[in-house]
Amino acid sequence: MRIDFNRPPFVGKELDYIREAAQVNRMLCGDGPFTKLCSQWMKDHFVTRQVLLTTSCTHALEMAAYLADIQPGDEVIMPSYTFVSTADAFVLRGARIVFVDIRPDTMNIDERKIEAAITEKTKAIVPVHYAGVACAMDEIMELADRYHLKVIEDAAQGVNAWYKGRALGTIGDFGCYSFHETKNYSMGEGGAILFQDDSYLEAAEILREKGTNRSKFFRGQVDKYTWVDYGSSYLPSDMNAAYLWAQLEEAEKINQKRLEIWNFYHRKLAALARQGAVEQPYVPDYAVHNAHMYYLKVKDLDTRTRLLAWLKERGILSVFHYVPLHSSAAGLRFGRFHGEDVYTTRESERIFRLPMYYSLTLDEAAAVVKALYEFDQY
């Protein structure tokens, strides 16, 4: 038996659509018919004014940092328990990162500890919706309003997840999605930037298209396109969008399948949690999650190391997650931790993630559960 930690989602029509992009549409570069289908679908389903597909969530974050006018020396507040890109995108613009502790229940930034970290230099807050479970957005938006800060949601894991009826990524000034192969909906490598203020659109299009007004040209608004501002290349191929389109068409099927696995783990492992061997994830009432991840926590790092090795011997690939950024070499150079690290390091050492993907069967999930019950050294 071998149960992978992740397998990229494949629902059926992906290759047909890629062939269509090449042979029918004859358009492999960006902003073709499949890119438009994906964008329109997200506009309708997530109720966002603007959405632009990008080459990754990392690049969506880079675009957001630029559009939010982050300047050298500005401070940006975020959790330390996150992926490197959350910080990198702002470091690239010369910002200093100010890390704030997480809440142990959701593993999200502790909204009650943000205000104390705000200084004259603070420019933005970057909430990360860990595991597709929403941060306390009302509190974060209220702080941002009061201190005139931008909010950039790292919703890489939060596609098709909700906060009080609003899609994650549509609440802050900018939202960033990932369609990496490890995420719920995939195009191999890819992402999207969302925003609600139309006045960002022109600058966003120019930034994404090498600093040119090529988007305006294609809409017939200008008769030739030229270099108009700073830019890069953040536009994905329509082939990748074709793959994503097959997934978005089946988004509800993918979501239901993931939730079924998540709920299965949650139900079957409840007794193990009652015995005190593991802790299960918590989803606040305000959040509708997307089963991006199923994690557990054990007593300490040593227990986790032994358990993961034990599972691996049985062919089950379970993995831990982020090493807190503030303790990494780059984190020490580009940022600082504000306040006390009560939970970030401690919780990050206890957490591990179970196999979770569209094609995982309930039999496989049952084998994972069985192995967790058989381990007797918690």
Ligand X SMILES: *Cc1c(COP(=O)(O)O)cnc(C)c1O
Q: Where does this chain bind ligand X (CB under 6 A)? A: 56-58, 82-83, 85-86, 128, 154, 156-157, 178, 180, 191
Q: In the bound complex, what is the minimum distance in angstroms from residue 164's beta carbon to ligand X?
A: 21
* Identity of the residue, 85 or 213, whose beta carbon is nearer to ligand X in the bound complex: 85
Residue type, 119: T
- Record the tokens describing residue 364, joined without a space: 């496989």
Q: In the bound complex, what is the minimum distance in angstroms from residue 87's beta carbon to ligand X?
A: 10
Q: What residue has token string 């306040």?
A: 339
Instruction: Compute the distance between CA of residue 173 and CA of residue 161 in angstroms, rounded to an integer.
Output: 17
Q: Which helix (H) or strand (E) holds 124?
A: strand 122-125
* Identity of the residue, 306 or 321, whose beta carbon is nearer to ligand X in the bound complex: 321
Q: In the bound complex, what is the minimum distance in angstroms from residue 295's beta carbon to ligand X?
A: 13
Instruction: Compute the distance between CA of residue 63 and CA of residue 186 in angstroms, rounded to an integer.
Output: 20
Q: Which helix (H) or strand (E) holds 167?
A: strand 166-167
Q: In the bound complex, what is the minimum distance in angstroms from residue 78's beta carbon to ligand X?
A: 10
The answer to whether 359 and 9 have CB atoms below 8 angstroms apart is yes
Return the DSSP state at 21: I
Q: In the bound complex, what is the minimum distance in angstroms from residue 106's beta carbon to ligand X?
A: 13
Number of residues assigned to the chain: 378
The answer to whether 17 and 35 have CB atoms below 8 angstroms apart is no
Q: In the bound complex, what is the minimum distance in angstroms from residue 56's beta carbon to ligand X?
A: 3
Closest CA to 344 of 184, 128, 147: 128
